[in-house]
Amino acid sequence: MTVCSDFFEPHRSRLVAVATRVLGSPADAEDAVQEAWLRAGAADRSEVRNTEAWLTTIVSRVCLNTLRSRAPLDADEPPDRPDDADGPEAQAVRTDVVGQALDVVLDALAPAERVAFVLHDLFGVPFDDIATVLDRTPAATRQLASRGRRRARAADPEPNPDLARRREVVAAFFAASREGDLSRLLSVLDPDVVVRPDAAALEMGSPAMAGADTVARFFDGGAAAARQMLIDGTPGAVWSHRGKVMVAFEFTVREGRVVAIDLHGDPALLDALDLDRH
């Protein structure tokens, strides 16, 4: 086995899953992953810190190029495109939405919308990382995913059990935090959980953290002022001051545990969020 294979193969199954959902075709997905393997093998990996994230970026860019080659030249609108504008793609795909076995025809999504929606909602890729793939700002990337999510919801007549499970995990996190129950808090956190504040949240005193023990001790007995709600359809919470949202907490949950908490304090981004208390 080559050095590149040793580096690549442990992540192949995830990369194939990403490519299949983005492209809607197992054959195209295999081609995309093969091209990503070639690109990874030719790249300088000396400064790669997160192999999975780096390879996901590569295969996502390959998929984006494939989608753009299918679509009309004007299908990939700029990020300030109105939310109700059309972005028809040449070829509809079928995919699972947020882990639920529900077929949705994504024939209204432009390539960048589909990539943002699939990477974030199905695979929990942070918007900062997706922004790198799409060459957009994180705020613009969030809006692309949000449009895709709303259109997918419109095509989804059934409740989403995966969303309900993720909300239960987030609710358990806040209950344990408010009650000061450290052991319960640890039980809902992934061992490698990370807290990622943006620049504005950092200025307000929210530190970046990693590791379940560190994160649990920081939130132990806290979060009393946070209100749970859906943030762009994702389980989370907000902290407000005098009725104004100051920080949004966005949770990424996998296999019943919190793997990431993104803290958003940028006023422009907060104004663009779709907040739902129900």
- 172 against 3, higher pLDDT: 172
67-103: per-residue pLDDT in tens?
888 755 444 443 333 333 333 222 223 333 333 333 3
- 269 against 236, higher pLDDT: 236
- 277 against 78, higher pLDDT: 277
**pLDDT exceeding 70 applies to what percent of the chain?**
78
**Site of tokens 């086995």:** 1
Rounded CA separation 245/126 (Å): 21
Question: Residues 134-161, buried b or exposed e (16+ Cβ, 10 A)?
Answer: bebebbbbbbbbbbbbebbeeeeeeebe
pLDDT of residue 20: 87
pLDDT of residue 90: 27
Q: What is the mean pLDDT of residues 19-29?
A: 85
Rounded CA separation 274/221 (Å): 28
CB–CB of 144/116 below 8 Å? yes
Q: Is the pLDDT of residue 256 over 80?
A: yes
Q: Is the pLDDT of residue 160 over 70?
A: no
Strand 234-241's sheet: what is its strand order?
Answer: 209-210, 189-197, 257-264, 244-254, 234-241, 227-231, 275-276
205-243: per-residue pLDDT in tens?
888 999 999 999 998 877 777 888 887 777 888 888 877
Q: What is the mean pLDDT of residues 54-68?
A: 89
CATH of 161-276, one of 3.40.50.300, 1.10.3720.10, 3.10.450.50, 3.30.70.20: 3.10.450.50
CB–CB of 232/149 below 8 Å? yes
Q: What is the mean pLDDT of residues 176-187?
A: 89
Domain residue spans of the chain: 3-154, 161-276
CATH of 3-154, one of 3.40.50.300, 2.130.10.10, 1.20.140.160, 3.30.310.50: 1.20.140.160
Lowest mean pLDDT among 28-32, 120-124, 151-155: 151-155
**Site of tokens 């993104």:** 262
Nearest one of 226, 232, 225 to 276, comparing CA atoms: 232
User: How confident is residue 162, by pLDDT bands cut at 50, 70 and 90?
Assistant: confident
Rounded CA separation 201/208 (Å): 10
Q: What is the mean pLDDT of the chain?
A: 77
Rounded CA separation 205/113 (Å): 33
pLDDT of residue 167: 87
Which residues make beta-bridge pairs with 186? none
Tokens of 189: 């956190």
**3-154 and 161-276 have identical folds:** no
Lowest mean pLDDT among 74-83, 108-117, 261-270: 74-83
Q: Is the pLDDT of residue 4 over 70?
A: no
Rounded CA separation 4/37 (Å): 8
pLDDT of residue 100: 34
pLDDT of residue 172: 93
Rounded CA separation 146/117 (Å): 7
What is the β-pairing status of strands 275-276 and 257-264?
unpaired
- 99 against 194, higher pLDDT: 194
User: How confident is residue 201, by pLDDT bands cut at 50, 70 and 90?
Assistant: confident
The burial of 69, by beta-carbon neighbours within 10 Å (0-12 exposed, 13-18 middle, 19 or more buried), is given as exposed
**Site of tokens 């919190």:** 258
Rounded CA separation 84/132 (Å): 25
Rounded CA separation 196/249 (Å): 10
